[in-house]
């Protein structure tokens, strides 16, 4: 342990100190102030003779007489299976009034990259109970599937719904898996105290807390702490998945607040900014988080990620959603117009995408008709959306009977399929049966993306009007 009283500058969340020995990058630092407080920090930059330290609790009360101790190790997360049911702050300290954590292990929060040779391809279905996701943009174990939202949209309600309802369907479970090995890691960054209370009330009311580990970084907590919160959450997830064989779903909200913390630190370091003032290395930094999702050959567990980000100005070309889209395997998009119509959850399935969906559905995985029904609903809903624009010009009377069927389908798709409320948990069978109900509004001849045998088996003849496809 090396100790100095050589602070030369304090800038925002950073403290600069002179040293006479090499100091490692990411090394943990303790700063003792004149009033007896001990603050924790981390080496952000180390060059000859000078180090930059980011202080997790903020730099208030630190002066040039403060003592700086370098502990000679990187930040570690104390992990144990007993973390399930606990609530921690953004730096990993218990805030639920429970006992101190007695760790089974202490793991480096940076983690280790999964060797591509050992990475198992994600192809096993996770049921969220949300039709807009399960039916149209299926989540797969080991996938990273972000939610693109906007300010004021109910992404927190959707996050809580997924945390409550996410499960591995029985047909997906192994011979010895009774569904008990499913855990949720919830990492909140920069949320308000009101939002934190809503999260905790919901977790406790529904019993979801029993299988969850919650990390809470509030809006009035230091921004620097937000840079470690997701890493602590992911380290806990990796331990439960690869050491204890849990299937872990990691929900991180809000990635935008995390990126704002990166920008604040970059400005304090006087770095040359990239797009819109964000650091040029933000792509690499986000990739270090997102790529910690996955499965490993020979390991029963898995880490699946649902990061949530609010797009500034609903702009999907903003650097945060833009870079996220390059790294992740699709996105779930929340729509402001659907929200204004009272659709819950307001998921717009047309710009949404799950690139691994085809590998997680189909015969022997969920339902043999899942892929066909999904494809046909996509096509029919897209047709209905296009016709809505035409109706604004020529009116419904100028359209054919089949075109009006597509318009009716689009309305029912939004109000019956996407709309389900935040307390309804639909099984994948319920979701697909609902899809058949909607598709039976269209004539058989127009169902050109579904196998004929499936049409004969599931088409609701009595509910369909026989309309010529032309």
Query: 104: how many CB neighbours lie within 10 A of its CB?
Result: 15
E strand or H helix at 134: helix 131-134
Confidence at 37, pLDDT banded by 50, 70, 90: confident
The answer on 297 and 415 residing in a single domain is: no
Q: Report the C-alpha gap between 12 and 30 in whole angstroms.
A: 17
Please tell me whether residues 161 and 55 are part of one structural domain: no
Reported as a single tens digit per residue, the pLDDT across 119-134 is: 998 888 899 999 999 9
Q: Is 347 inside a domain boundary?
A: yes
Q: Is the peptide bond before 254 cis (omega within 30 degrees of 0)?
A: yes
Number of domains in the chain: 3
Query: Which CATH number belongs to the domain containing residue 45 in this structure?
Result: 2.40.10.170
Regarding whether 90 and 61 lie in a shared domain, the answer is no
Is the Cα dihedral 221, 3, 108, 274 positive or negative? positive
Q: How many CB atoms lie within 10 A of CB 394?
A: 9
CATH of the domain at 414: 1.10.1140
179: CATH: 3.40.50.12240
For residues 225 and 136, membership in a common domain is answered with: yes
In the listed set 342, 360, 378, which residue is the last one of a domain according to the structure?
A: 360
Which residue is listed with tokens 């308000």?
192
Q: At what angle do helices 319-327 and 255-268 cross, to 10 degrees?
A: 110
Structural element, H or E, at residue 323: helix 319-327
Chain segment 191-224, per-residue pLDDT in tens: 998 989 989 998 888 888 899 999 999 998 888 8
365, part of any domain: no
Q: Same domain, yes or no, for 123 and 236?
A: yes
The answer to whether residues 352 and 416 belong to one domain is no
Q: Do both 158 and 245 map to the same domain? A: yes
Same domain, 18 and 140: no
Tell me if 133 sits within 8 A of 366, measured CB to CB: no
What the block records as the tokens of 24 is 């490692």
User: What pLDDT sits at residue 167?
Assistant: 86
DSSP 8-state secondary structure symbol assigned to residue 94: B
CA distance 38 to 31: 6
Are both 154 and 279 inside the same structural domain? yes
Q: Do residue 199 and residue 175 come from a single domain? A: yes
Question: What angle is formed at CA 336 by the lines to CA 229 and CA 126, rounded to 5 degrees?
Answer: 55
Pick from 339, 334, 327, 337: nearest CA to 351: 334
Domain that holds residue 84: 77-360
Q: Is residue 316 part of a domain?
A: yes
Among candidate residues 57, 74, 91, the one where a domain is terminated: 74
Phi, psi of 276 (to 5 degrees): 55, 30
Distances (CA, A) of 375 to 32, 283, 378, 380, 452: 61, 32, 5, 9, 14
Question: Residue 8 has which token pair?
Answer: 């030369």
Q: Is the pLDDT of residue 172 over 70?
A: no
Final residue in a domain of this structure, among 53, 74, 95: 74
Domain assignment present for residue 62? The answer is: yes
Determine, yes or no, domain membership for 468.
no
Average pLDDT over all residues of the chain: 88
403 shares a domain with 295: no
Average pLDDT over residues 101-110: 91
Q: Residue 469 domain-assigned?
A: no
In a domain, 251, yes or no: yes
Per-residue pLDDT band for 464 (boundaries 50, 70, 90) equals very low
Is residue 366 very low, low, confident or very high in pLDDT (cuts 50, 70, 90)?
A: low
pTM value is 0.88
Alpha-carbon gap, residue 121 to 448, rounded angstroms: 31
- Inside any domain, residue 67: yes
Identify the H or E element spanning 309.
Answer: strand 302-310
Structure tokens at 82: 């007993």
Say yes or no: 305 and 375 in one domain.
no
In this structure, are residues 91 and 56 in contact, taking their beta carbons and an 8 Å threshold?
Answer: yes
Handedness of CA 450, 453, 454, 459 (dihedral sign): positive
Distance of CA 415 to the CA centre of its chain: 25
């Amino acid at each position: 342990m090396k100790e100095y009283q050589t602070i030369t500058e304090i800038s925002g969340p950073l403290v600069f100190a002179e040293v006479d020995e090499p100091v490692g990058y990411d090394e943990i630092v303790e700063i003792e102030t004149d009033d007896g407080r001990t603050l924790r920090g981390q080496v952000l930059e180390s060059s000859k003779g000078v180090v930059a330290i980011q202080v997790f609790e903020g730099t208030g009360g630190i002066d040039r007489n403060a003592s700086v101790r370098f502990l000679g190790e990187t930040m570690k997360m104390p992990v144990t299976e007993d973390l399930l049911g606990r609530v921690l702050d953004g730096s990993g300290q218990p805030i639920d009034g429970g006992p101190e954590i007695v760790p089974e292990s202490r793991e480096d929060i940076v983690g280790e990259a999964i060797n591509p040779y050992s990475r198992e391809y994600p192809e096993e279905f996770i049921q969220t109970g949300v039709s807009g996701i399960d039916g149209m943009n299926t989540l797969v174990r080991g996938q990273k599937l972000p939610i693109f939202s906007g300010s004021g949209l109910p992404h927190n309600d959707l996050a809580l719904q997924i945390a409550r309802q996410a499960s591995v369907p029985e047909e997906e479970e192994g011979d010895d898996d009774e569904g008990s090995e499913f855990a949720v890691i919830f990492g909140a960054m920069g949320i308000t105290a009101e939002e934190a209370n809503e999260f905790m009330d919901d977790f406790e009311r529904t019993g979801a807390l029993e299988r969850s580990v919650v990390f809470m970084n509030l809006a009035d907590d230091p921004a620097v702490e937000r840079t470690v919160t997701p890493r602590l959450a992911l380290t806990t997830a990796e331990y439960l998945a690869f050491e204890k064989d849990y299937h872990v779903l990691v929900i991180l909200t809000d990635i935008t607040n995390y990126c704002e913390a990166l920008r604040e630190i970059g400005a304090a370091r006087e770095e040359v900014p990239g797009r819109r003032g964000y650091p040029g290395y933000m792509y690499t930094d986000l990739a270090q988080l997102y790529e910690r999702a996955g499965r490993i050959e020979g390991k029963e567990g898995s880490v699946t990620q649902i990061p949530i980000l609010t797009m500034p100005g609903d702009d999907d070309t903003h650097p945060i959603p833009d870079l996220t889209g390059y790294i992740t395997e699709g996105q779930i998009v929340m729509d402001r117009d659907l929200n204004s119509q009272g659709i819950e959850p307001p998921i717009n399935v047309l710009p949404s995408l799950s690139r691994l969906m085809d590998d997680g559905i189909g015969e022997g995985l969920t339902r043999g008709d899942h892929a066909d029904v999904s494809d046909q609903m996509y096509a029919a809903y897209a047709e209905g959306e296009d016709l809505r624009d035409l109706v604004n010009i020529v009116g419904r009377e100028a359209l054919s009977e089949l075109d009006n069927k597509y318009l009716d389908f689009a309305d029912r798709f939004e109000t019956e399929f996407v709309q389900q409320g935040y307390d309804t948990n639909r099984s994948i069978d319920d979701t697909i049966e609902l899809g058949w109900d909607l598709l039976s509004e269209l004539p058989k001849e127009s169902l050109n993306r579904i196998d004929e045998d499936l049409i004969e088996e599931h088409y609701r003849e009595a509910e369909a009007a026989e309309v010529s496809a032309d």
